Amino acid sequence: MNKAFYDLIRKVPAGRWDGIKRVYGPEIVRQLRSGVEIEYTLATNGANRLWKLLHTEPYINSLGAITGNQAMQMVRAGLNAIYMSGWQIAADGNTAGSMYPDQSLYPSNSGPEMVRRVNKTLERASQIENAEGNLSRDWFVPIVADAEAGFGGPLNCFEIMKAYIEAGAAGVHFEDQLASEKKCGHLGGKVLIPTNAHVRNLSAARLAADVCGVPTVIISRTDAESATLLTSNIDERDCEFIDTLAGRTAEGFFRLKQGSGLQHCIKRGLSAAPYSDLLWWETSTPNMEHAKVFAEAIQKEFPGKMMAYNCSPSFNWRANLSPEAIAKFQAELGAMGYKFQFVTLAGFHSINYGMFELSRKYKDYGMSAYSELQQAEFKSEPHGYTAVRHQREVGTGYFDTVMLAVTDDREVTHENLLGGKSSTLALSESTEAAQFTKEAEPIPYGLPQISVQPATEPAIARAAMQMKQNVSQDSSVQLTMDLEEGDEKVISTETIQFLASLHRRFEKKRQQILEARKTRQLLLNAGQRPKFLTTTGDIKKTNWKILGTPKDLQDRQVEITGPCDRKMVINALNSGAKTYMADFEDSTTPTWRNLIEGQKNLYDAIRGEISFEDAQSGKQYKVGPKPAVLMVRPRGWHLPELHVQIDGEPMSGSLFDFGVYVFNNARKLLGNGTGPYFYLPKMENYHEAELWNEVLNAAEDYLKIPRGTIKVTVLVEHILLTYEIDEVLYSLRDHIVGLNCGRWDYIFSYIKAFQNHRGFLTPNRSEIRMTTPFMRNYSRSVIKACHQRGAHAMGGMAAQIPIKSNAEENTKALQAVREDKVREANEGHDGTWVAHPGLVGIAIEAFAATLNGKPNQVDRLRPDVNPSAASLIEIPLGSRTEAGLRHNINVTLGYLEAWLRGTGCVPLYNLMEDAATAEISRSQIWQWVHHNAQLDDGRTVDLNMVENVINEEKAKWITKLQSHNRLDDATNLLFKFVSDKNLKDFLTLDAYKKLVQEGH
């Protein structure tokens, strides 16, 4: 019979009616239609769009809107659907103009009228963007509306469904309460109707949609989990839940058994499933186990049946769940099949809390309070917020276009809007035009001509004052390691004061971004794929440039990297490379002594006081007359500095490395004619870049150095960041001078991002090169974005080291380096990385041949580069072999053993291995084990095979190492990494904790 309904409701996707049961035939639908076919475009488009999202996204997360403008901001911020709550309509959005509790006391036309109002607002937003020539989104997102208990019986459900369709709703839900006694799902006194009566209401709603010719998404809701009463025992399906011993109420209602709510919900869900598209059971608490029981019971009988979940404001979330559980709550629900999730009363709480806080502060501080709100609005503009220009937001410019159209017959464009002949245009002489655009003054440094809050904000200045509180005598700041003679030059009372202030201001935000990473990974695990952002259109489309690049960073054709031990610092500065990146991250084991000695070595080098004598050879090392420009890489946001405890918690390794270096050396570097330059690693999204920008601004204010003095290059070494590189450049525009293709970590991030999906199995590590499609597209994207914004695009690492013992193999290795660097130069990179001084000359030759005497090729744009989102994650092809598995295991064992001894940069098999290359190896072992990868010889990789190979490769290492080694510890760590159910984020986290426990 469903085939006939595809003819009756023509605009539906294939399979739309699979599993849907109707109690009527197509002939009754034809009979109930009018003689004129009316098209309900918004309802039809919305329903089909909602259906597609339900089948293509891990889940849809929505918020309840209480006004049209709230809904508009939801769409502008990137939400894919809007929820329309009956509770909110009762409270402050009904046609009676009264405030009611959620008990169906308001007129039944209120919900459809609210949907109509929201759609009119979205229509206006679309008109405004279109009139401005900048229509960048489909504003008409699906609206899912609350029909309560239908405001009566089947006929009422039929009529209210029609009203919602006429208003443009995409989905409507009906609950199984008695309409005349209806209560909020989190109130007492709820009375259920019999199961068959609820099914009849659902059928009436479906019939109304069919008559209208619209594939409205129908959601069945049951309140059986907490309801205590039932109107009738007429339906046998309800009888097992009736408490026959308790008797009936004074109103004649049956009492329901206590403790049977979940099973009652399941039974009602199974009964409603054939008549609805999604099932929603209203819950009293955010109980994941109960959600799982319900989902499994439904999907056992109806495989693939989708469900909805109210992430209710009636739950005290922190009282019920940990922050970690809250962060992953929706992703886990989505994986169970709860495809539509929503916060019903988000609009109510947002409006009330926001206005209360503004009023409270306004009472005490007057216009300063309102100004703070305005500054917060300015700060949100780069993310797509536009309501700070409220006249434009509501359509003043749109109606000026209308006025021009009837005043003058010439072509109306956005450019002549303010210069037309009409003398009554509203926007052209408004205070908004005068005070909220940049037209009155030139935009410095080529920033985009959109209203953006300047970098120096009053809030930053105030924070800088707070950072100067004297904490030197604060017992809540503790070093867990003793200082040695000479350490005071880098760890002074003033340095500790600065570090403590950084921690107190930024640690909470750091923890938030780490939680956000976990949530994003859960989404990826559930099947979400990376996408380019749609909420930052102004950043991508406007023609802006970074602030500028210092003279000594214009030529970065070859950069050498390495740890900060004294001999390495001298050799790197003397290497002939243009810059030296002193690395506190992947090539340094972060023992306390390594970190402090590294800081002291850089301190001495900046002051021309560094030298070194080799104890065995007696050779003297000093820095020559033309040293490389110094850059420093602090640790990533994920790593703590466990040796520094502030207010009882460890500070960020990033802030410690950055803070010690910049506090002690910034002014001296400026006096030397250079500056404090940094490489920033391991970011996963542009919000992490925003946090770095706040840190840099605060440090400059504290040190009283001009804005933009501190310069940074960001390593694009996570696959997700490639989708947000414009946003990263913009977020750091006062400070950034380039991006770098951190190729090894990037491959590791590919494995980590898609760890849950067998379809992303990778080949041997050695077969993933920069010519592999997803790697090539990534590097080209970096080049295009950087050059468009005036920044350097740095190539990746050449990890080879000269092979002194074998001339033939050495020639092959150097040729491979040469080819790699020629490729980078030809692609458009402005420079590259090497790990050994012996490769500097080869890299310089490769770039010199392309640059022809220029310091860089930032002026070379790449308009030909336009990779799709899918091309950036294209699955690499290649072989998986036992040799590849053995190499991964051998390298990881060798690296971990050295790392645990305090050496973070290890030459292995003619390559310089650091934490990034070790991460590829150990994560790939995990991936092959947990997805039962098949080797080229037909064998399946499992834990037993890997354990055997680990033992065999360990035996090889025993013959190479001295008796006092860390091989047992390395073996234990590696086996833990590959056998854990979940892939560990970073091997250095567990390994670092072990070192600290040992007193390092």
> What values do phi and psi take at 386, rounded to 5?
-130, -5
Q: Look up residue 437 and give its amino acid.
A: T
Distances (CA, A) of 599 to 472, 482, 572, 824: 20, 16, 16, 32
* Phi-psi label, residue 794: left if phi above 0, alpha if psi -120 to 50, beta otherwise: beta
- Residue 519 neighbours by CB under 8 Å, 6+ apart: 327, 328, 331
Active-site annotation holder among 538, 586, 914, 922 = 914
Active-site annotation holder among 268, 633, 635, 880 = 633
Say if CB 135 and CB 534 are below 8 A apart: no
3-class state of residue 225 by DSSP: coil
Q: Round to whole Å and give the CA distance between 251 and 421.
A: 72
Distances (CA, A) of 799 to 719, 751, 853, 890: 21, 20, 26, 17
Task: Dump the DSSP string for 299-346.
Answer: HHHSTT-EEEEE--TTS-HHHHS-HHHHHHHHHHHHHHTEEEEEETTH
Q: Is 780 a catalytic residue?
A: no
Q: b/e per residue, 200-212, with b = 16+ CB within 10 A?
A: bbbbbbbbbbbbb
Sign of the torsion formed by the C-alpha atoms of 107, 109, 112 and 116? negative
Q: Are strands 677-680 and 649-652 parallel, antiparallel or unpaired?
A: unpaired
Q: Round to whole Å and give the CA distance between 170 and 176.
A: 21
3-class state of residue 628 by DSSP: coil
Q: How big is the chain by its Cα radius of gyration, in Å?
A: 32
Q: Is 364 a catalytic residue?
A: no
DSSP state of 621: E
Q: Look up residue 296 and give its amino acid.
A: E
Q: Look up residue 789 and give its amino acid.
A: R
Say if CB 721 and CB 683 are below 8 A apart: yes
Locate tokens 């209210």: which residue? 160
Which of 172, 144, 176 lies closest to 158, judged by CA? 172
Neighbours of 307 (CB within 10 A): 25
Task: Dump the DSSP string for 969-991.
Answer: HHHHHHHHHHHSSS--S-HHHHH
Q: Which two tokens stand for residue 829?
A: 């990179």
Q: Which two tokens stand for residue 344?
A: 């019903």
- Residue 493 neighbours by CB under 8 Å, 6+ apart: 472
Q: Are strands 338-343 and 60-64 parallel, antiparallel or unpaired?
A: parallel
Say if CB 732 and CB 716 are below 8 A apart: no
3-class state of residue 668 by DSSP: helix
Task: Dump the DSSP string for 806-843.
Answer: -HHHHHHHHHHHHHHHHHHHHHT-SEEEESSGGGHHHH
Name the strand (E) or helix (H) holding 44: helix 41-56
Q: Which two tokens stand for residue 692?
A: 């770095």
Q: Round to whole Å and give the CA distance between 103 and 181.
A: 7
Name the strand (E) or helix (H) holding 70: helix 68-77
Say if CB 902 and CB 590 are below 8 A apart: no
What amino acid positions are annotated as catalytic residues?
633, 914
